[in-house]
């Protein structure tokens, strides 16, 4: 079963509920999911990019292989810097989302938080938005039992292949695994994408053998997200 990781159907309703809390307000704010990634002009993100260039030799050139090298360096940086933490444990609240600079400064977050940060740093490093998505979906074990809702970034490499850059690992592997390979049954940890987005659009993703997309909002993700995947021990 294959997936179109670029996204199949643009969803025009990209608003989400109960994911942004403001000090002094008891009720969460309604937000647009596309606003959770990018931040290229943010000074905190620029400082992180400076560190990546100075300490980890993030390429600024556009020679063959440089974009893949950027993706690997950014991926490893986020995995090292961000400690996976459930919101209920860290903040004594139900699931909510941090903006990338906040995740970077606190050094912790769950799958959405670290995914938004990783995707934003990829974009800020000069990688095209056509080659970056954040995916909302669910995960299964090798017995095809759902482990719950999960979020992960994907990157289209220089060979035109979408790769999963799992942001909640304890250590990033040496290579970027192809996304399609990690959706096949029998995997120790199998990914199933439902939606993807970047700073421009939100898309629904449907299996290749499905006749048509459902065209609804993000309800399916938030339903499966009620059961959260614990990624602390997972290895890609």
Domain-by-domain residue ranges, the chain?
9-224
Q: How many helices (H) and strands (E) does the chain have?
A: 6, 10
Residue 143 burial (CB < 10 Å; 0-12/13-18/19+)?
exposed
Residue 1 has pLDDT above 80, yes or no: no
At the topology level of CATH, where does 9-224 sit?
C8orf32 fold (3.10.620)
Q: What is the DSSP letter of 28?
A: P
In angstroms, the CA 198 to CA 175 distance is: 23
> How does pLDDT run across 211-221, given as a tens digit for each residue?
555 656 687 88
pLDDT tens per residue across span 69-105: 999 999 999 999 999 987 655 555 567 799 999 999 9
Mean per-residue pLDDT over the chain, rounded = 88
Top pLDDT among 96 and 3 is at 3
What digits encode the pLDDT tens for the residues 95-150?
779 999 999 999 999 999 999 999 999 999 999 999 999 999 999 988 888 889 99
What's the pLDDT at 92? 55
């Amino acid at each position: 079963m294959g997936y179109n990781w670029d996204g199949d159907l643009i969803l025009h309703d990209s608003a989400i509920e109960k994911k942004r809390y403001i000090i002094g307000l008891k009720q969460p704010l309604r937000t647009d999911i596309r606003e959770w990634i990018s931040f290229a002009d943010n000074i905190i993100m620029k400082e992180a990019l400076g560190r990546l260039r100075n300490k980890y030799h993030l390429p600024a050139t556009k020679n063959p292989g440089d974009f893949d090298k950027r993706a690997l360096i950014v991926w490893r940086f986020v995995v090292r810097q961000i400690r996976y933490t459930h919101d209920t444990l860290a903040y004594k609240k139900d699931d909510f989302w941090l903006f990338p600079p906040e995740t970077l400064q606190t050094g912790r977050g769950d799958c959405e938080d670290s995914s938004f940060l990783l995707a934003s740093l990829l974009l800020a490093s000069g990688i095209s938005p056509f080659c970056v998505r954040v995916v909302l979906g669910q995960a299964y074990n090798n017995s095809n039992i759902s482990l719950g809702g999960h979020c992960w970034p994907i990157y289209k490499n220089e060979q035109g292949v979408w790769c999963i850059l799992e942001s909640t690992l304890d250590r990033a592997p040496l290579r970027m695994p192809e996304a399609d390979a990690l959706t096949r049954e029998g995997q120790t940890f199998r990914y199933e994408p439902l939606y993807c987005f970047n700073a421009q659009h939100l898309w629904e993703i449907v299996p290749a053998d499905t006749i048509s997309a459902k065209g609804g909002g993000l309800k399916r993700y938030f339903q499966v997200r009620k059961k959260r995947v614990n990624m602390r021990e997972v290895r890609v």
